[in-house]
Amino acid sequence: APPVDAWDVERSDVTLDDVGGMDEVKARLRAAFLEPLRNPELRRLYGKSLRGGMLLYGPPGCGKTFLGRAVAGELGAQFVNIGLADVLDMYIGRSERNIQDVFRLARAHAPVVVFIDEVDALGQKRSAHGSSAMRTTVNQLLTELDGVESSNEGVFVIGATNQPWDIDPALRRPGRLDRTLLVVPPDESARASIFRYHLRARPVEGIDLGELARRTPDFSGADIQHVCETASEKALMASVQSGSPRMIQMGDLAAAIGEIRPSTRAW
Ligand code: ATP
């Protein structure tokens, strides 16, 4: 079983502006979370509660974790990133203790965003852990989400999954992961901004972001990051071979695009 310090508390310097595309998702996050928090008087005026968390769902690599980091960055909050599958343990009682530990750690670092990936791992359909043990584990998570034993003030929970249909329905009741946001593969303009983000700190010349976006249908954000890294590698190798550094050019990116298989086509 992973020890308590297996879970890192990170500072996040990502903001919503760094997230390419997703205008609707960002607008919903602002309305549900960010603005109510930033404007306590308005929150009271309109009787808006801060209870409840978010459930992000959609294909892998399209920015769910990145979005969680951006929410933390916007709030000036810490970020705790756990995969639910990692806290599950075959020994009786360990999974519950792990979940308790994660939330204890998080509360000690509030304000904090707790990002729980693979929340479907606790779905009723998966019974690898035996269904009664699984029930106890789910109940522990519900207790933590509800803040039954300790207050969840300043603890924002975001769950993520690629398989929303497997999620235990109890996790989605009001006050828990009660708001659902679909995170889809990036469209053309989102891809252009994802390219801009991943090239922003690299030496580039003659880059046409619109052209890159047009050439990358079905590429996820993670695929685009991979393209940018591969193109950097090509420019680096060319510089080593010629003995003088050269900028990353469209040719490097086009070659990288040709080598990388887009991963979102199945969705
Ligand atoms: P998984 O379901 O596999 O956990 P995910 O949806 O959480 O996937 P991320 O880990 O957030 O995907 O994305 C992988 C990487 O791709 C991020 O670290 C980020 O660099 C990049 N990326 C994805 N989407 C975007 C986006 N909209 N804007 C900028 N970068 C993005």
Q: Put the strands of the sheet holding 112-117 in their side by side order.
A: 9-11, 78-83, 112-117, 155-161, 54-57, 179-182
Query: Which DSSP letter does residue 186 get?
Result: P
pLDDT above 60: residue 226? yes
| β-strand partners of 161 | 57
Out of 66, 115, 182, mutate this one to test ligand 1's pocket (max ligand atoms within 8 Å of CB): namely 66
In angstroms, the CA 135 to CA 137 distance is 5
What tens digit of pLDDT does each residue of 146-186 get?
A: 988 788 888 999 999 998 888 888 999 988 999 999 999 99
pLDDT, tens digit, 9 for 90 and up, residues 25-43:
999 999 888 998 889 899 8
Q: How far is the CA of 171 from the centre of ligand 1 (A)?
A: 24
**Is residue 152 classed exposed, middle or buried when 0-12, 13-18 and 19+ CB atoms within 10 A define those classes?**
buried
Tell me the CA–centroid distance for residue 24 and ligand 1, in Å. 17
The token duo for 263 is 């991963």
218/50 Cα distance (integer angstroms)? 36
Instruction: Given the cut 0.90, state whether the ipTM is greater than it.
Output: yes
CB of 159 closer than 6 angstroms to any ligand 1 atom:
no
Q: Which runs of E-coded beta strand occur in the chain? A: 9-11, 54-57, 78-83, 112-117, 155-161, 179-182
- Tell me the one-letter amino acid at 149: E
Task: Assign 57 to helix, strand or coil.
Answer: strand
Neighbours of 93 (CB within 10 A): 12
* Distance, CA of 30 to CA of 128 (rounded, Å): 38
CA 153 distance to own-chain centroid:
21
Sequential DSSP letters for 161-183: ES-GGGS-GGGGSTTSS-EEEE-
Q: Which of 93-97, 142-146, 232-236 has the highest mean pLDDT?
A: 232-236
225 lines ligand 1 (CB under 6 A): yes
